[in-house]
Structure 1
Amino acid sequence: MTSPSFPMGTVPDDNYEDTMRSPLPSSMLTKSSISLNPAYSPSSSSPLRFWRPAAQRNIKNQWSKIRLTKDDWVSASSKGRSHATNLVNAYLERKYMPDWNLGVLTDMPQIRGEACNKLSYNQELFRKKLVSSYKDMVVAVKDLVKASCSMRCYLKESGSNPIIQFSDHQGNPNDCGDGGGIPVFSCLSITHFEDLACELVEMFRQELSLKRFLVIALQSVNCGEDEGTDDVFSWSNELYHGEFLDLASSGMPIQDSYPIQPQLKGEEPSDPLNKATIKSTNHKTLEVYLTTWLVDLNIEEQRVIEILCIVEEEMKAKLR
């Protein structure tokens, strides 16, 4: 199985989806399935003797970034869910305000109008905060992709310098940056670390697409009941300036200049959002949106924990 060799500091282009290898099935790369391959034993006089410490440092750095970035995602997702809940509450309160019994406040002139204006302001405020949290999630996935594609360690062209040095950039096309497939620590090669990283990144990439679906749906309920469907957000609209470039850098497939439709793990992409359905959103539908956001359908939390444990056990160090 070939593996990607993007240099550190670069970002995959739109063809990332094609070059990114399918992760190994969970049953093929677990704690119990890892064993040392004794066939690889770098010679003490070989540059591989010096490659391994450099590769170990790089692997530790990249997996530490992955761990921290995963936590950034969790934080952004939690904030996004809070903003989405507040947005839905403001929308429903505004929607049902004309039918509420205001008691002694009923005789106060313009009370309902003032309340609706306040709720409308809150809707707009939480709408912006929701997009901000979504943008943070996009950045998190970009960083995950970057770290997962920066695990190789290349021999640095040193000219007349006798000191052996290594780089995160490929200087020699014949240098794969994987040390010839030897274990970096005790059991896992660079390719194995990349497989684990790709599996983890794919979960978050698919969940990001689903989150985008929910953000668009929740943004659209911000429209007034008397407005037409022209003001409803479409899947082909950017939620913020430069979003589609960020999504392409995150490895999300782009088709006809905008991202392909969201999908659940193992399923085909869904159809684009139906504007008529969005305009008729009711309380139960909004509840489903919020619940879907909360549960992270595409992320297998137990598998994420297992992957991080495998890496920590291999490195004999905790990821920080």
Structure 2
Amino acid sequence: MEPRESHFQSPIVTKPPFFTPQQSSSPSSAPAPSSAIRLWKPAAQRNVRNQWSKLLALFQDWCSSSSSARSHAISLVNSFLSQKYMNGMDLGVLSDMPNIRTKACQKLFKQQELYRCKLLSCYKDMVAIVTRMVNSSRSMRCYLKGSRTSPLAQFSCSSQNDNDSGDAGGIPVFTFWSIAAFELASEVVQMFTSELNLKRLLVLELLSISDERVLQEIELHWSDEFYEGEFDDLSTCNLYLEEACEPVFPSLRSSRSSTSSMQSKHQADSDVLQVYLTTWLAEVNIDRCRLDEIFAIVGEEMHVNLS
């Protein structure tokens, strides 16, 4: 991963990062018997390693899908702009061909439709990736299945006992960190859910552009479901408002989300479209330097290389 310039400096971390016991959202259970701990610890270590390895793999999948989506978006924009400026193009000797401009626009429109479908497919993949990230970040804890006294102890990522918090009383899993400290994964996931939210807005704008000479305008609104099951996925990512029956609208941290001032423009000019493409590439919500730092310190604690 190539580091990018960070908007803020991350402090050097020598202990479990950004975590104090008071920050744990799930209270620790009473310390388990030593026999249960001996069984729990290797299971917890395997689970934590697996979940963080999944997060790293999903980050790489995100990079691939985001790059493909931007490539399709560029092609979509180029097809649209070629249609828009067709009348002003100098076609040279081709100008004498009957209906050449109309035929060219029809061909470009079909290309635009193709790239629109490809962009939407990539967006769907990105939603699925973030959904899996969320599930992994919520699966760090290791719960005992059955009785603690059973010689054939089994463990699960889901709790079957209200008295089991999945952290063996807050003991270190490897060297220093308890399970709660490994839930630093939520910071990673928050970056990607925020970026996914912004990319949904860009997808809406890019899917909505159409030439004024084409009668089949794409009427797509923020409250529309872009594909079947999208709202269920967004709910998993906490990006869907059940009361309003629409996805959370992206906003600055200092302002409230609102869709009242947002209206998709079918006739966006080239400068605006360039801003959309640049914003897609920038991924302003993802701090690559902080991601590198998190994966490095987590990998060091687990004695694995997360890079």
Q: Same fold (TM over 0.5)?
A: yes
CA apart distance, 1:224:
3.2
Describe the shift of the 1:43–1:102 C-alpha distance in structure 2 as closer, same or farther (beyond 3 A).
closer
Cα offsets for 1:21-71 (capped at 9, x unmatched): xxxx9868x532449x9xxxx898431122111100000010111110111
Q: Distance in 1 between matches of 2:246 and 2:158?
A: 31
Q: Confirm or deny: 8 A CA contact 1:145 1:251 kept in the other structure.
A: no
Structure-1-length-normalised TM-score: 0.83
Matched, 1:73 2:55: no
> Which amino acid in the other structure matches residue 302 of structure 1?
C
Counterpart code for 1:32: T
In the alignment, which residue of structure 2 is the partner of 1:198?
Answer: 186
Which of 174, 195, 200 is the aligned partner of 1:207?
195
Cα distance, 1:241 vs. partner?
1.3
**Number of the residue aligned with 1:183:** 172
1:31 counterpart = 2:20: no
1:171 deviation in Å? 1.7
Q: For the residues of structure 2 that align with 1:107 and 1:57, how far apart are their CA atoms?
A: 71
**1:20 paired residue number:** none
1:310: Cα distance to partner?
1.1
Contact persistence 1:90–1:120 (CA under 8 A)? yes
**Identity rate, percent:** 47
Distance 1:229 1:120, change over 3 A: closer
In 1, the alpha carbon distance for the partners of 2:252 and 2:42 equals 40
The answer as to 2:244 corresponding to 1:262 is no
CA distance in 2, matches of 1:303, 1:268: 26
8 Å CA contact 1:264, 1:298 repeated in 2 = no
Find the residue that maps to 1:122 and give its secondary structure.
helix
Structure 1 pair 228–264 and aligned structure 2 pair: CA distance change class (3 A):
farther
Q: CA deviation at 1:269?
A: 2.5
Partner residue, 2:25: none
Question: What is the distance in 2 between the residues matched to 1:161 and 1:26?
Answer: 49
Gaps of 5+ in 1: 1-24
What residue in structure 2 maps to residue 8 of structure 1? none
- CA RMSD, Structure 1 to Structure 2 (Å): 2.6
The one-letter amino acid of 1:107's match is D
Any stretches of 5+ residues in structure 2 without a counterpart?
A: 1-7, 21-30
TM-score normalized by structure 2?
0.86
- Pairing of 1:225-236 with structure 2 (within 5 A): 225-226=212-213, 231-236=218-223
The amino acid of 1:299's aligned partner reads I
Describe how 1:56-205 pairs up with structure 2 within 5 A: 56-158=45-147, 161-194=150-183, 196-205=184-193
Aligned residues: 287
